[in-house]
Amino acid sequence: MSSPRISEQLLVSDRVASALSQGAPVVALESTIITHGLPYPESVAAALDFEQTLQDQGVVAATIAVIDGVAHVGVERDQLERLAAGGEALKLSARDLPVALARGASGGTTVAATALLAARAGIRVFATGGIGGVHRGASESFDESADLGILASVPITIVSAGVKSILDIRATLERLESLSVTVLVFGSRQFPAFWLADSGISVDYAVSSGAEVAAVMRAADLLGRPGGILVANPLPRSAQLDPELHDRLLAEALDAAGAAGVSGKEITPFLLDYVHSHTAGTSVDVNLEIVRGNCRLAAAIAIAHAAASGAGTQD
Ligand code: PSU
Ligand code: MN
């Protein structure tokens, strides 16, 4: 494990740095979900709620974001508030980070950018809602989230509720296979579709505990593989969005995006906002419950990984 780096432009908070130096469990959280994924002001409450969920499990939360050209691994409450409320926060994926740091910009970090910064600080586990993936129509548009490429090159374990059906889930799983990203599903082999517990696609491996995931992480390290692991955590079927409502909204959202001519990095926030604003908050509530569940599983993984690493090696 690399030691936490502290420089003028990559700042690891004291809490996070001290946990890392003691080999204590730490879980990273992204911030695009706050700036571009959830409506304000629910977004700020949600960010604090995710941190609290981790802390309740005895894990240090490291929410990652860029503020005034400084990449923060572990942000303070007032910084969160400013990012979410200001409206000036950019959506920063991995390729945007160097420019944002050089120009003193502020923004929410996507899964790709968060994973990169987390790994740089020595964090091994990251909880989010849904990762980006291959968009529908990608054979024409080539629109594939950088989240996939980063998962292939950074040693991080990401817990997500699969990917949203705004994306082409089958193509996303195919790309993850091509990129040699290990995919595990918690509880069954049915890959989840975020608001729905089952996308209808099954993958090769089911896991049933954090310790099992930690064992896969340690084996991956042993092999010197460059990439990470995706752990898909389905929400309970009883909590899922009504499938009929889901399918109708999805079709409407995709039509609306087409009609508005939205493309590039705006497309994901547009689709998410459409769904949230047309379900009178139901989908936001489901969204929050999903991320909390992912935080709990990520905590179990981080705890098991920290225990095994402490017992086994000096690094
Ligand atoms: N998918 C979601 N919720 C999100 C995102 C994706 O269900 O909030 C955000 C994440 O930050 C993710 C990013 O990393 O959007 C992907 O955007 P793009 O497709 O432009 O790479
Ligand atoms: Mn894209």
Can you read off the two tokens belonging to residue 298?
């990520």
The three-state secondary structure class of 158 is strand
- The reply to whether 177 belongs to the active site is no
Instruction: Answer yes or no: is pLDDT of 5 > 60.
Output: no
Tell me the CA–centroid distance for residue 32 and ligand 1, in Å. Answer: 7
Look at 71-80, 84-93, 172-181 and tell me which has the smallest mean pLDDT: 84-93
Look at 7-11, 149-153, 205-209 and tell me which has the smallest mean pLDDT: 7-11
* Torsion sign, CA atoms 194, 184, 149, 153: positive
Pocket of ligand 1 contains residue 33 by CB under 6 Å: yes
Pocket test for ligand 1, best of 29, 32, 63 (most atoms within 8 A of CB): 32
**pLDDT recorded at residue 4:** 47
Tell me the angle at which helices 267-277 and 282-312 cross, rounded to the nearest 10 degrees.
Answer: 120
- The pocket of ion ligand 2, defined by CB under 5 A, consists of 143
Section 65-92 average pLDDT: 94
Tell me the CA–centroid distance for residue 179 and ligand 1, in Å. Answer: 19
Q: How far apart are CA 107 and CA 105, in angstroms?
A: 7
Instruction: Answer yes or no: is pLDDT of 93 > 70.
Output: yes
**pLDDT recorded at residue 189:** 98
**pLDDT recorded at residue 135:** 95
Tell me the CA–centroid distance for residue 230 and ligand 1, in Å. Answer: 15
Give me the percent of the chain exceeding a pLDDT of 90. Answer: 86
**pLDDT recorded at residue 6:** 58
Q: At 74, is the pLDDT very low, low, confident or very high (cuts 50, 70, 90)? A: very high
Q: At 313, is the pLDDT very low, low, confident or very high (cuts 50, 70, 90)? A: very low
**pLDDT recorded at residue 22:** 96
**pLDDT recorded at residue 3:** 40
Section 26-51 average pLDDT: 94
Pocket of ligand 1 contains residue 114 by CB under 6 Å: no
Entry pTM: 0.95
* Number of other CB atoms surrounding residue 229 within 10 Å: 22
Instruction: Answer yes or no: is pLDDT of 108 > 80.
Output: yes
Average pLDDT of every residue of the chain: 94
Residues 6+ apart with CB under 8 A from 252: 274, 278
Give the ligand 1 atom nearest the CA of 32: 11
Q: How far apart are CA 297 and CA 143, in angstroms?
A: 30
Instruction: Answer yes or no: is pLDDT of 32 > 60.
Output: yes
Give the ligand 1 atom nearest the CA of 194: 7
Length, in residues, of the chain? 315
Q: How far is CA 168 from CA 23, 156, 183, 199, 303, in A?
A: 38, 23, 16, 11, 33
Backbone dihedral region of 74: left (phi > 0), alpha (psi from -120 to 50 degrees) or beta? left
Section 261-277 average pLDDT: 91
- The reply to whether 91 belongs to the active site is no
205-207 and 26-29 beta bridge pairing: unpaired
Instruction: Answer yes or no: is pLDDT of 29 > 60.
Output: yes
**pLDDT recorded at residue 311:** 57
Section 245-266 average pLDDT: 93
Q: At 86, is the pLDDT very low, low, confident or very high (cuts 50, 70, 90)? A: confident
Instruction: Answer yes or no: is pLDDT of 95 > 50.
Output: yes
Give the ligand 1 atom nearest the CA of 112: 14
Contact 185, 234 (CB under 8 A): yes
